[in-house]
Amino acid sequence: MKKIVPVIVALVLILIIGGVGIGGMLLEKYSYSKETVELEEYYGVTGDRLAIVLQDEIVPEQAVRRNGVCYFDLDTIHAYFNEGFYVDLQEQLLLYTTATDTYRVAIGSGSWQNSAESKDMGYAICFAEGETMYVAADYLKLFTNFSYEVFNDLCVQVYTEWGTRELAEVVRNTQVRSLGGIKSPILRQVEEGETVEILERMETWSEVKTSDSIIGYIENKRLSDATTEMEAPVTDYVPEEYTSLSMTGKVSLGWHAIGGPGGNDTLGAMVAEGKGMNVIAPTWFSLNDNEGNFRSFATARYVQQAHGYGLQVWGVWDNFNYKNETGSDIDSYAVLSATSKRQLLVQGMINTALSLDLDGINIDFEGLTEEVGIHYIQFLRELSVECRKNSLVLSIDNYVPFHFNEYYRLDIQGEIADYVIIMGYDEHWHGSKDPGSVASINYVSNGLTKTLEQVPAEKVVNALPFYTILWKTEGAEVTDEYITLNNVADFLSRVNITPEWDEETCQNYAEWQSGSTTYQIWVEDLESLKVKLNVMGAQNIAGVAVWRLGYGTPAAWELINAYAGS
């Protein structure tokens, strides 16, 4: 018996130790972790940085807080809030152009100015750190529909949209954890009676957001049934209203190419050709230096005569003709990226237009690079304000839209301009050494479709070519020459060539050999123009333009008049 007792004791001890071990394992498996996560680590912030909770998501970008003021950097503002803010680092200005005015802030200043007033905000409205510009949230709110609130000096909750949300009450003290699971670290204790927003319901856990914008997980058994609540949008912002001028009926515009003062004397001939035209656009003005000045071939007499013919006159400003005429190096970036130069240009345009009694301004800035894009758009914004103030029609000429010229921003033009004109030609252009159609039907149709995705149809004008290109290929050498609409039939007769209809381009096409040279021509004629006008009619756009007067025929203008009068 004495020998059995120690054995029994040993067995009991083993059972106890084993039970303790199993109990510890079970406790370890089923007990709730008490590990916590520092909110700085959770948000990924240090110093004066603030995490941004946009709607119900922590975005990668961060805000900063200085002297109690919340600031967003300009890239974040452009990405999530408002694209309209513009920085001129040369002249140390932050600009915002509305439908009716431009607000200016000197970088580092606490006050803003526009044409009518100024106001001191009592803190730095914007400041720069290196190449990063920061703008105060309250200043941003003057022009943008959003709400924000800073929590725990660690995050800023931002709402730019409002709808419905699900809410639930916490029915027992518990924790918000970083992931769904009892072993997940704790982000925050929540008390019975607190309300949380339900972001996603799962089987045993829910993703929630607390009242101080901590996003994590709570067990469903700790939550009441969800209720639905309508979110209240902000009411301290009034959206801008862009007004537009529009003609009665469709636009029928002819560009009048004027290469010198004597070109004005051809007005009568151009009007005689373009019977039914209601807008004439003389190419009078061209940038002639890098300071914002331009040369002019304009005369008031021309405008008076055009008005006598019943025409509106939209003066054309370009950035290339003076350069082509003189060889001068005109730098569009230098002009458009400096606020003082843009203002000189805009004011000069407006003063000139008013002194001549023009009805509108037509902008034809071509060959812009992507780096010029933001400055060009700011120029158009500023010009649109002055045109609106002075009842001048603003029309803007554009290439057919592709991904590589998106920086011309047709979407913004469609908001600020009265008419957006698509130059529906130069699919293959003079000097390109790439034989092909000037304006195939797919090129025109696809261009209009892409434009109408960004611009209201009542503002879109499509421009037709009154010319074609004769391509000459000899070996590896490709040359070309223009043939105008009013000369193409005579040319084909002289070379004794009869083109045949090409269904793909919807143009008459001809190809022939002469010695070692291959000739190709995709003809612009009444048949091709009719197809284009039919497409334009189906799209119900605002009108038609032609490049250019002096190239057309009476029959072509009859087609245009039939379209414009439909």
pLDDT of 120-142, one tens digit each? Answer: 999 999 999 998 999 999 999 99
- Do 258 and 336 lie in one domain? The reply is yes
Number of domains in the chain: 3
Domain co-membership, 116 together with 226: no
CATH code assigned at 311: 3.20.20.80
43 vs 36: CA distance, rounded Å: 14
272 plus 405 within the same structural domain: yes
Q: Which one of 230, 262, 278 terminates a domain? A: 230
* Domain shared by 96 and 190, yes or no: no
Residues 217 and 174 in one domain: yes
Pair 172, 305 in one domain: no
User: Using CA atoms, how far apart are residues 354 and 350, in angstroms rounded to an integer?
Assistant: 6
Residue 376 lies in a domain: yes
Q: Residue 409: inside a domain, yes or no?
A: yes
The pLDDT score that the predictor gives to residue 228 is 97
- Indicate yes or no: pTM above 0.85: yes
User: In percent, how much of the chain has pLDDT > 90?
Assistant: 93
Residues whose CB is less than 8 angstroms from the CB of residue 341 and which lie 6 or more positions away in sequence, other chains included: 290, 291, 292, 334, 335
Residues 124 and 172 grouped into a single domain: no
CATH classification of the domain holding 224: 2.30.30.40
* Residue-wise pLDDT tens digits, 300-324: 999 999 999 999 999 999 999 999 9
DSSP-derived letter for residue 223 is: B
Kindly report, residue by residue over 331-354, the tens digit of the pLDDT.
999 999 999 999 999 999 999 999
d(CA 229, CA 255): 58
Do 354 and 419 lie in one domain? The reply is yes
> In terms of residue numbers, what domain contains 300?
251-466+525-564
DSSP run (H or E) holding 378:
helix 373-389
Confirm whether 493 is domain-assigned.
no
Distance between CA 319 and CA 247 in Å, rounded? Answer: 27
Assess whether 436 and 339 both reside in one domain. Answer: yes
How far out from the chain centre does Cα 514 lie?
49
Q: Does 481 map to a domain? A: no
295 and 341 assigned to the same domain: yes
Q: SS3 of 135, please?
A: strand
Among 313, 138, 165, 307, CA closest to 227: 165
Q: What is the band of 240 on the pLDDT scale with cuts at 50, 70, 90?
A: confident
407 part of a folded domain: yes
14 domain-assigned: no
pLDDT at 27 > cutoff 60 = no
pLDDT at 11: 64
Boundary-marking domain end, from 128, 151, 174: 151
pLDDT at 456 over 70: yes
Residues 441 and 358 both lie in one domain: yes
Residues 198 and 334 in one domain: no
Final residue of a domain: which of 151, 178, 194?
151
- The answer, yes or no, to whether residue 505 has pLDDT greater than 90, is yes
Between CA 4 and CA 380 the distance in angstroms is 102
Within a domain: 503: no
* Residue 438 and residue 524 in contact, taking contact as beta carbons nearer than 8 Å: yes
H or E element, residue 87: strand 85-88
Rounded to 5 degrees, what angle do the CA atoms 377, 378, 382 make? Answer: 120
For residue 514, being part of any structural domain is answered with no
Q: Using one digit for the tens of pLDDT, what is the confidence trace for 457-469?
A: 999 999 999 999 9
